[in-house]
Amino acid sequence: MSEQSFQTLGEFIIDKQEDFLYSTGELSRLLSAIRLASKVVNRQVNKAGIANIIGKAGNENIQGEEQQKLDVLANEIFIEALSQREVVCGIASEESDDFIEIQASCNAHLSKYVVLIDPLDGSSNIDVNVSVGTIFSIYRRVSEPGTPVILEDFLQKGVNQIAAGYVVYGSSTMIVYTTGNGVNGFTLDPSLGTYYLSHPNMMFSRTGKIYSINEGNYIKFPQGVKDYIKYCQREEEDRPYTSRYIGSLVSDFHRNMIKGGIYIYPSTSQSPNGKLRLLYECNPMAFLAEQAGGKCTDGFQRIMEIQPTELHQRVPFFCGSYDMVEKAEAFMREAAAK
C-alpha cells in the first residue's frame, strides 16, 4: 500500500476543501453524513441473508416498481443521516413520491444544499448476492436561503452539480466521488470502519473492449443501438468486444471506468424515454464520467445539458469511454437520418 493510500476519506475531504468554490465546511459535513450512512447500509447489506431484510417490501415506489425491503431501509438511513446534520434544506429520493423539506431546526432552511439520491441501486440483486450501490448528487439551492425549499431547487441541469458520487457494496465497499476536480475512490477497511484513499485520480481509458447492455431486449431497441451492438460483435482487428452486464448501474459503471467500456440503457419500444432516472442516476454518473475523461449522452445530446421537467424523469443513457460513446452516437445519428 502506498503512503498516499493511508489517507482517510475524512482527511481527504478536509484537505480538498479549498478546491471547492463555496467552501464553508458545510459540504464537508454533508459528505461526512453520506459516509456515515453508507457504512450503516453496508452493514445491513452484508447481513441481509440472516436478518430477514431480503425480498419484497410489499409496496410500490412512485415509478410503480415493487420495492425491496432494503430499498426502504436504505432510504430511511440516508434521509435520517442527512437530516440530522443540518447541512441540507431538502432531499429528493428515487423511493419517494415528492421531495422532502428538512425542518429539523431553524438552521435547516438556512442550508445552501439539496441532495438527490438513489439509496440502493440494483436492489433486486440482493437476493442473489450481487453487488449493489448508492448514487448521490448535490446541488446548491436556487431559492433564497432561509425560505422553504421548492421544486425548482431540484429541477436543475446536471451542469449545476457541485458534487456527485456513488457507493458500491461489493467484494469490497467503496465510495467514489467528485466535486469537479477529478474522481477519487476510497475503500472501506471493515476492521476499522474507515474509508481509505485507494483509487486516486480515476480515469476512463479513451476506448475499451467492454459493452454493457441488456441484450435480452434487443428486439425492442432503436435501430442505431442494434447497429452498434453488431459493430461491437464484428470480427475486426480490435474486436469483437466483450459483453458484460450486471444489471446494477453502479457496478457496471464502476467496472467500465476501471477497465474501459460503454454502458447503454436505451429507449425501447415499451419505454420510449428509457428506464434510468435523469436526476437520481444519469446526472451524477454523467458528472463522474466527464470528470474521469469519459462521455455521457442520451444518444444525441449531453446528459448534463438536459433541462429536467419532473423529479422522476427518465432518459436514454449512453455512458463510458469517450471514443466508444462517440461511435455509438454516430450509429444513432445515422439510423435517425434514414
Was 188 annotated as part of a binding site? no
Cell of 190: 471493515
Of 247, 258, 236, residue with least CA distance to 212: 247
Residue with cell 442527512: 82
Q: Is 5 annotated as a binding residue?
A: no
What are the start-end ranges of the H helices in the chain? 9-15, 26-46, 69-84, 223-233, 249-259, 283-291, 322-337
How far from each other are the two terminal CA atoms of the chain, in whole angstroms?
Answer: 54
Residue 214 annotated as part of some ligand binding site: yes
Establish whether 123 is an annotated binding residue.
yes
Ramachandran class of 74: left when φ > 0, alpha when ψ lies in -120 to 50, beta otherwise: alpha
Task: Write the CB contacts of 25 (distance below 8 Å, at least 6 apart in sequence).
Answer: 17
Phi/psi-derived region of residue 160, left when phi > 0, alpha when psi is between -120 and 50, beta in every other case: alpha
Residue 118 annotated in ligand binding: yes
Q: Is 97 annotated as a binding residue?
A: no
Residue 197's H or E segment, with its range, is strand 194-199
Q: What is the DSSP letter of 279?
A: I
322 is annotated as contributing to ligand binding = no
Does the annotation place 26 within a ligand binding site? no
> Is 265 annotated among the ligand-binding residues?
no
Which residues fall in the annotated binding site? 94, 118, 120-124, 214, 245, 275, 281
Which residues fall in the annotated binding site for substrate? 121-124, 214, 245, 275
Which residues fall in the annotated binding site for Mg(2+)? 94, 118, 120-121, 281
